A = this chain, B = another copy of it.
Amino acid sequence: MSNVQAVEAKPRERVAMNGVDTPRLFATLDAVKAQPELAAFQFRATNTWISGTHSRSRIEAFSGANGEHRHTGNIQFDADHPAVLVGADHAPTPVEFLLHAIAACITSGIGNIAAARGVRLSEVESTVEGDIDLRGILGLSKDVRNGYRELRVHFRVKGDAPPETLQAIVAQSKARSAVFDVLTNGTTVNVTADCATA
């Protein structure tokens, strides 16, 4: 979800569009405004190593809005390294899921914000590129970081509004994207382990 509070030139049409239940979106905003504790969410995943660089995550349950919830859609995702990186290529690499996350996050915001602003979308497509020098993770250079040097996300958006209105929707979605915030500003990541000889 994304900010739909901004002042708009066009009168707000609170009708469902773009597959977004816009009235319920505004009702949700009002509910959280009245009860801020509804906004405290915890997302979770479990991961099991399979072999080599291949592992499988399950993304099943999360809490928020004062309750526990379970996903009903696809919840199982693999990751692996490709052959050129000595893996078996059962699935994309972990770093590629960051590309999926940023594209999907900004896209979902575009859907919501367009609906909130009464703009009907006909197409939203994006490409993401990430440049990485693997000498970092290979431990071959102290001057090279482990992660991406840069990501580029390019959108192609079509809708029943002037191009500048569509640009403003993309800009607002970026400004309210949870994944954009984490990928650009970073966050605290605590890693712990229980280890046993077996």
Contact = CB atoms under 8 A, between A and B. Distances in A.
Given A124-B49, A147-B185, A77 B100 contact: yes
Number of copies: 2
A10 interface: no
5 contacts: A43-B130, A46-B125, A69-B83, A71-B91, A160-B197
A140 B178 contact: no
B195 A167 contact: yes
A146 B41 CA distance: 12
B100 A148 contact: no
Interface string A22-41: 00110011001100100111
B187 A148 contact: yes
Contact of A163 (B51, B88, B195): B195
A62 B134 CA distance: 13
A150 interface: yes
Given A6-B139, A49-B123, A179 B147 contact: yes
Interface in A151-198: 151-164, 166-167, 170, 174, 176-198
A43 B152 contact: no
Given A177-B146, A185-B186, A193-B155, A90 B74 contact: yes
Contacts of A47: 100, 103-104, 107, 125-128
Given A49-B110, A52-B111, A189 B44 contact: no
B178 A132 contact: yes
Contacts of A167: 193, 195
Nearest to A94: B105
A59 B46 CA distance: 22
A148 B157 CA distance: 28
